[in-house]
Structures are given as C-alpha cells and as structure tokens.
Structure 1
Amino acid sequence: MVAETQERAASAPRQFTRTLSGFGVIILTLSVLSPGVSVLVSGTAIVQDAGTGVVLAFLIGSVVCFCQTSMSAELGAAYPTAGYDYAAIGHAIGDWAGATSYIASISTIPLFLNTSAKGIAIYLQPFGFPLSANEITLITVAVVTSLSMLNIRANEKITGVFMLIEFSALFLIAGIGAWHAQPGAWHLILSPMHMHGGLWIAAGIGVVGIAVNNASWALAGASQALLFSEDMKNPRTIGRIIMIALALTIVSETAPIVGIILGSHNLKAVLASTSPFEVFLGAYLPSFVLRMVSLSIAIAIFNACLAGFVGIGRNVFAMGRTKLFAPPINHALTRLTRKSDAPWVALLFLGVTTAAATWLPMSFEILLLSGGYTIMTFFYVWGVFAGRRSGRTGTHDYKSPLFPLIPLIGIIIVIGEIVVLWLDPDTGRKSLFVCGGIWLLSYCYYRWVLMRRPGGWQMTGPADIDAMATTK
C-alpha cells in the first residue's frame, strides 16, 4: 500500500510553489500585456487610421474592455489556474468548452509570442546592429527562452525593472503632450478628423468603430494574470488583481494617446506619418533622447516576450497536466526543473515553435489572432450566464457588477466585433472563417479523440483549486 501510494505521488505532476504576492502578479501581468507595445507598436496603426478619433476609440474601447475583462475575472476567480481563460471557461460551461478552448489556442500561442519578438528589430534599427530582422528575432527568442527558465521570483524582478522603463516612456509622451497642449485640440477629439489619401477629412462612424475594436484589443490582456495564479500565495484574490491590472493598463495606454493628439503643433504631419510617435517626440526632444525612447520600446517588447514565455509556459504545462495529448507528451510537458520550478520542456516547445513562426508573414499571423478574441468574448458571456445559473461563478472573490447587464453588453460587443470583422474583407472576414474553423476542429478533437479514451476525459487543475471548486 505504501509503495503504491509513493508510485502514485511520483507519477503525479508536480505543482508550482506558491511564492508570488498579488503585487508580483500585477508586475508580471503588465509585462505580458505591455502597454508600451500596445501604444507604440499596435497603437501606431490605430492613430494612423482613426486620426484624432483615436482618443474616443481608446475611451470607448476602455468601456468595452472593462466588460470583457470583468467577465473573465469572474470566471477566473472561480477557477484560478495556469489553464488561463480556457480552464475557467471549461469550469463554468463544461469540459467540452475547456478542451475546445485549450486546443484552439495551440495554433495561436507561438504567433502571439512571435509578433512581439519581431517588433524588437524595428526599434533597434537606429542603433545600427549588423544583423537582419530575422536574426534579431531568433536571438531574442533564444535569450528569452533561457531567462524564462529562472525562478519566477527572479523573473518578477527582471520584468519589474524593465516595466519601470516602459512606463517612463509612456508618461513622457503624455507629459509632453499635456505641457504643449494646442488650442482647439479638444474640438478635434470630439469631431474626429484623419488623413486619408493625403486629404484632411472627417473620420466617420465606421472608421471610429473599427478603431474602437482595435483599441479594445490593444487594452486587453489583464486576464493573463491567471497564468500566474498557481504561483500566488492567495489565488482567491485573482479577480481583483485582474481588475487592478486593467485599470493600470487603461491609464498607461490612454494617457499617451491623449498626449499625442493634444500636444502636436503639426497634427496633420504626425497623423500622416508611419511613425507618429517619433514625429511627435522629434518636435520637442533632441535626437539622443529619441534613441533612448526607441531603446525603451525595444526593452518593453523584450519584457513582454519574457513575461509571456514565463506565463504561457505554465499554460502549456497545464495542458499536459489535464492530459490533452498522448501520455509521453503529457508527461514531458509537466516536467519541472528542481531549482527554479520552471516547466522546461514546455518552455523549450515555446522557444522552438516561436522561432519557427519567424518565417511566417505578419499578415498571416494577424489573420489567426484577430478573430480569436471575439470568439473568447462569446465564451465569456456564455460562461458567466452558465456559471451564475449553476452556482459555479459569482460567489467568489470577484463577480461582474450589475448582473446581468455586463454579459448582456457582452452580447452586443460580440455582435459588433463580428460586424466590424465582416466589413474588413482583407483580414477580418477571413479571420472569422479561419478562427471559426480552428475552433470547430478543436471541438472535433475533444469529441472524437479525448472522449473516445477509456473513461472519457475530464478537465483537471491543481489539487487545491479542484477541491475548492467542488465545494461550491
């Protein structure tokens, strides 16, 4: 009996040591979602498309993102695991939803990490490194993979220092904009204008609507705190941690957006540029400071990559723990290093697949990424309604306010995002079809592979969280 017990304990996947405070999770979460990357990389395209309407886009997008995030926070508070939204959705709706979400994410995880890594090469160009963009990307992935093997507390400190640099760059832009605020700027914000075909014209509702969708996506990511919940001393507080991270994200991203519109003395030139933030800062700062800003952006992107590897490595670990694959693969993915408690096989898998994605066109990566969040929002809505009805959600650390208003607004958001994507035949419409197909195939994997195993398949998480969930 003792030998049998020891054998079961040895074969069971190891658990992460709970050493992180809520503050540490916030640092890692902000590093993953990276406000600097969202504003200075993704935000560049939004500024170009929406013009002065970008401020309204980020303000309205903040409301949209609040609704989405509050639903994911409720689901995550009820089931705080490294399984992320996927496991939380499965807990609220059913095992099939968890398995489908898990499997659907496999194709996008390397692309999400690779798009960040590619951005570093762009902002290192002013320093004249004698390397190609692909070579810089591959070196970045190799360094990040190595650093992610460190203890999570060490990564908390590393990302914390980088995050201070990132936030300094963002609030520098906001401060310069406020100091040099131009007369009449607020009028242009309320009556949006943008550059189109070299002409200064009004930005219509359709232009601002697409910008709102893009801004809400740029603001999203606070729910990634769930990736680190198994390392928390008190995982029951994860819902509030998610909402605090969202509040900090909204402030840090919206402030520089307002700053560039308020403070540009030649707004048309800024909005017509492919590098609007550099043109804006170039009007007020010497060249060496601009180089430092470029370096801070590169650091922000590196920071996002590092924290992303740390968190998503835990998510891939969770996939192995819940036995989504063949037994040898599951066993390998749940291997942890003895000293740092890092899921080293999962991290190596991320490193190899992220590096391989370097040769994929950016347009293809965006195609697969852009529609996924809309589908996830649909499952957030379903999960909150199903969880409240079954009593699995809404009784924990955090619940969506004004129920059922938030999930009802979520339905409107999903419909609006589908319409916006459908109106974009080049990327959005294709993304809906491709992502829909991926999710359908993922469900088929659950139905025809996982459920044909002897005894079927059941989602599992950490023993203490599973025990907490079953008592509700």
Structure 2
Amino acid sequence: MSGNPALARRLGTVDAVVIGLGSMIGAGVFAAFTPAAQAAGSGLLVGLAVAGVVAYCNATSSAQLAAAYPTSGGTYVYGRKQLGEWPGFLAGWGFVVGKTASSAAMAMTFAAYAAPPGWERPVAIAAVVLLVAVNYRGVTRTAALARVIVAAVLVALAVGVSAAWAGGPSGGGGRLWGAGVLSHGWYGILQSAGLLFFAFAGYARIATLGEEVKDPRRTIPRAILVALAIAAVVYAAVAATVLAALGPDGVAAAPAPLAQAVAAGGWAWAAPVVRVGAALASLGALLALVAGLGRTSLAMARESDLPRWLAAVHPTFQVPHHAELTLGAVICVIIAVADLRGAIGFSSFGVLVYYLVANVSAFTQDRAARRYPRFLQLLGAAACLVLVATLPLEAVVAGLVMFAVGTGYRLFRLRRARG
C-alpha cells in the first residue's frame, strides 16, 4: 500500500459501534419479520436465534481479521492476504455490486415513508446526494450524523414496543407461539434465518473503516461485538412484540408489522413516531452503506481490481472522494431507472459469499493472530453455505450471474495488463 494516500484515524470505539448499529438497525427491523413469518410462522424466533449465532461466528472472524489487518477494505483485503487475489476479489466484488443495489433499495425505502405520493424517486435521489455530501466532508461528520439517527431510531423502537404491549390485545402469549415454532418445519426456520441474517450483517461496515479507527487492534473487535449484541437484543424485543400483538399469520400479512402492532394498541399517537423511525432507520443504513462502499472500492482500486482513479483520497477531508462520488452517481441512476423497493436477491447472495471468504480467511490465520477458536470459523462458513442453499432460485441465479460478470471483468483486466 506504499505510495497510496492513507486515511486519517479519527474514530473511537463509540463512533465505530454507532456506525455498526446504523447499518444493522436499519429498515429491516420494521419490515424483515414479514417474509420471515411467511417462511417460519412463530418459528422465526428460532430463525432469529440461528441468524444471531451465524452472525456471531462471522463477527468473530471479522474481528480477528480486522485486528491483524487494520486497513480499509474489510474482507476484500483479508481474502487477498490470507487466501489469494481471487478470493479477495470475489468478496470485494460481491460487496460493492450487491451493496450498491441495496443502497438504492434503502433510499427508495426511505422515500416510501418520507415522500408524498409521486415524489418517491426525486426524494430518494435527494437523500443519496445529501448523505454522499455528508460522507464527503469526512468520517467524523458521518459518525456524528449516525449518532443522531441511531438515537432517534432506538427511541422510535422503544415507543413502538411500549405502545404495542401497553394497549395490545390480551392473550399475547398464545399469539406469540401460534401453532408452534416447528409448524413450518426446519426448512422454513432456516429460510427465515437466511432472511433475518442480513439484519445483522452491518457489523462488516466497522471492519471496512479499519484505516480510520484509533487503536484498531483493540477498538474494531470490541466495537463489532458490542454492536452485534445491542442489535440482537433490539431484534429479539421487536420480534416478540409483533408476534404477541398480531400472531404469526398477522405478521406474515403485514407489510409493516411494528406499525400495525402499534395501531392495534391504545397509543394512536405512537404510529407517526414509528413511521418517522422507519424513515430514519433507512437513512442511517444508507449512510453506513455509502461509507463502507467507498472504503471497499478504495481498497480494490489500490490493487487495480477497480479503476485506479477511485483510489484518490481528498487532501483535506481524508475520504475516498472519487469512489464516493462515483458510487453516489451510480446509486442515483439505479433509483431513476429501476424499482428496488423489494429485496435485492443477488445482494443477499453476495453478502453470504463475502462472509464465507471472511470465515475461511480467519481459519487460515496462525496462532499468533488467533483470538477465537477455529470451530467458530468452520461453523460460520458451513452456515453461510446452508443459508445460500435456502435462498430462492432466482436469487441464486442472479448472484451467479453477478459473479460471472465480475470474473470476466478481472480476467479482461489481467489480460490487458500482461499485453
């Protein structure tokens, strides 16, 4: 990395935790339980526990690797260092392409809550422009805005959960368990785990900021695990609340289950609070996504796996400004031409490949770098493969096409370099 301009270390532990929470407690906490309930009924509670275990395995791998390689890029860098150029490239490519599409979807989710009818796309594009501008001014500005957003979202969630329990229907315990946690079988539970896992995946954003964290060998592992623990408690509380208020069938039929649970309660004034919280959660996740995408693109450009022009670092603000501006423009174009309010299938595929590479990379580290037992990395890698197998067929096909395009691009670049 010599000869490449470095980023400044400005983030403390609290900043890193907040950025991770902003990624994890995003719009998914307001809507992810609907498809999970469709897949598993009340078994989504078991699916949530499975997703939490898989996330913990992946988080420990990311923490161990981040302590050894405290630089921008996350698993792209770890894969290159531990496994070779191709595994690193596949991890980075899956992250950048998949999360760029996810960023567009997150912006559209924000606009669906915040924009008047007919203005969703312009408002979504304006949100992207605003957050790219915040990121452009430096990572401390990103962290400051993330603190405000995360605090507001947690308050909205606390109000929503309290409202649902305070005025909700009686007999919540019977509604909570429905026909039983195994009523949809283990396949349904695993599919719900695959859907809910992505709610936890935001801790990777902490690792991608490794070059901007103070004392990264101590701060990053601590921040990853603290953020994951807080997110797990929040998701468990919301899951139990919506199931108790609506029952498994009600959650499966509700596009916004927490909002509907609040509406079923006695605090009518709380419904707008939850709506504002959902909009802010989408904004917070988008903010963290833009920051993580910029740093991963920077790392890939440094190695010429993306155009070298993207490796530029702003001399004053110390951010990868070419990468962030380019990604912002691409996200705006996607919003303008595509309908991305639903889930992005190949983004899910890409995230699982990303963490598969992280687990295998951590498994190959020597004793001196090891912080966690190897069985956690084996369990995490195996779980990633199992969750890939539970994805819908169209998501798997889209993911394979995405990686085929990336492989073709890199082969073309390597052939040109040799020529």
Distance 1:436 1:159, change over 3 A: same
The yes-or-no answer on 1:450 pairing with 2:411 is no
Distance 1:106 1:311 in 2: 9
Question: What per-residue deviation string (whole Å, max 9, x for no partner) do you get for residues 256-297 of structure 1?
Answer: 1112223x1777545433332222101225444311221121
Listed one character per residue, the Cα deviations across residues 214-249 of structure 1 (whole Å, up to 9, x for unaligned) are: 112222221220122111111112223212221111
1:333–1:343 contact (8 Å) kept in structure 2: yes
Residue 244 of structure 1 is matched in structure 2 by 226
Aligned to 2:313: 336
Matches within 5 A, 1:248-267: 248-262=230-244, 264=245
Compared CA separation, residues 81 and 296, structure 1 to 2 (3 A): same
Instruction: Say yes or no: does 1:410 pair with 2:401.
Output: no
Q: Distance in 2 between matches of 1:166 and 1:413?
A: 30
Q: CA distance change for structure 1 residues 412 and 101 in 2, over 3 Å: closer, same or farther?
A: closer
Deviation at 1:452, TM superposition (A): 6.3
Summarize the Cα distance change of 1:190–1:355 in structure 2 as closer, same or farther, 3 Å threshold: same
Q: Contact 2:91–2:350 (CA<8 Å) still a contact in 1?
A: no
CA gap 1:120/1:375 in 2 versus in 1, 3 angstroms: same
Distance in 2 between residues matched to 1:395 and 1:371, nearest whole Å: 32
Superposed displacement of residue 18, structure 1: 1.0
Tell me what 2:332 maps to: 355
- In structure 1, the partner of 2:396 is 432
Q: In structure 1, the residue corresponding to 2:368 is in which secondary structure?
A: coil
Distance 1:235 1:163 in 2: 22
Alpha-carbon distance in structure 2 between the residues aligned to 1:295 and 1:450: 48
**Closer, same or farther: CA 453–17 of 1 in aligned 2, 3 Å:** same
Whole-angstrom distance in 1 between the partners of 2:58 and 2:52: 10
> Is 1:400 matched up with 2:372?
yes
1:28 matched to 2:19: yes
Aligned equivalent of 1:276, options 244, 257, 270: 257
Shift of 1:414: 3.4
If you compute each CA radius of gyration, which structure gives the higher value, 1 or 2?
A: 1
Q: Are residue 165 (structure 1) and residue 152 (structure 2) matched?
A: yes
3-state secondary structure, aligned to 1:80 = coil
SS at 2:364 equivalent: helix
- Listed as ranges, the gaps of 5+ residues in structure 1 are 1-7, 195-201, 422-427, 457-472
**Matching of residue 374 in structure 1 with residue 338 in structure 2:** no
Contact residue 156 and residue 273 of structure 2 kept, 8 A: no
With over 3 angstroms needed to count, the CA separation of the structure-2 counterparts of 1:341 and 1:59, relative to structure 1, is same
Q: Which residue of 1 aligns with 2:177?
A: 189
1:203 equivalent in alignment to 2:188: no
Mapped partners of 2:208, 2:144: distance in 1: 17
Partner of 1:321: 302
- Cα 1:93–1:289 change in 2 (3 A) is same
1:150 corresponds, among 120, 131, 137, to 137
Contact 2:31 2:257 in 1 (8 A): no
2:207 aligned with 1:226: yes
Alignment check: 8 A CA contact 2:99 2:347 kept: no
Whether the 8 Å contact between 1:84 and 1:227 is mirrored in structure 2 is: yes
Give the residue type in structure 2 aligned to 1:406: L
> In 1, distance between residues paired with 2:173 and 2:55?
26
Cα drift, residue 306 of structure 1:
1.9
What is the alpha-carbon distance in structure 2 between the residues aligned to residue 81 and residue 248 of structure 1?
25
What is the distance in 1 between the residues matched to 2:196 and 2:343?
18
Partners in 2 of 1:309 and 1:114 — Cα distance?
10
Alignment counterpart, residue 322 of structure 2, candidates 342, 345, 364: 345
* Change over 3 Å in CA distance of 1:313–1:134 after alignment to 2: same
- Contact 1:219–1:253 (Cα < 8 Å) also in 2: no
Describe the SS at the equivalent of 1:449: helix
Q: How does 1:2-21 map to 2 (within 5 A)?
A: 12-21=3-12
Counterpart position of 2:195: 214
TM-score, length-scaled by structure 2: 0.89
Equivalent residue for 1:424? none
Residue type of the alignment partner of 1:231: E
Q: Secondary structure at 1:453's aligned position in 2?
A: helix
Question: Are 1:48 and 1:274, in contact at CA under 8 Å, matched by a contact in 2?
Answer: no
Q: 53, 58, 69: which one pairs with 1:63?
A: 53
Distance 1:54 1:233, change over 3 A: same
Equivalent-residue separation in structure 1 for 2:180 and 2:100 (angstroms): 37
1:386-435 CA distance string (max 9 Å, x none): 33xxx2xx534x6333x2x22332343134223312xxxxxx22322332
The CA distance in 1 between the partners of 2:176 and 2:268, in whole Å, is 29
| Cα distance in structure 2, aligned partners of 1:119 and 1:22 | 29
Given that 1:324 and 1:450 are in contact with CA atoms closer than 8 Å, whether structure 2 keeps it comes out as: no
Aligned 8 A contact 1:36 1:170 in 2: no
Post-superposition shift, 1:440? 4.3
Distance 1:49 1:406 in 2: 27
Look up the SS of the partner of 1:18 in the other structure. Answer: coil
Structure 1 pair 319–270 and aligned structure 2 pair: CA distance change class (3 A): closer
Over 3 Å counting, the alpha-carbon distance change for 1:91 and 1:266 in structure 2 is closer
Q: Which runs of 5+ in 2 are unaligned?
A: none
Query: In the alignment, residue 273 of structure 1 is paired with which amino acid?
Result: A
Deviation at residue 191 of structure 1 after TM alignment: 4.8
Partner Cα distance (2:417, 2:44) in 1? 51
1:79 aligns with 2:79: no
Q: Distance in 1 between matches of 2:87 and 2:196?
A: 27
Superposed counterparts of 1:82-97, under 5 Å: 82-97=72-87
Q: Is this contact kept in 2: 1:173–1:260, CA < 8 A?
A: no
**d(CA) in 2 for partners of 1:285 and 1:94?**
58
Query: 1:163 deviation in Å?
Result: 0.6
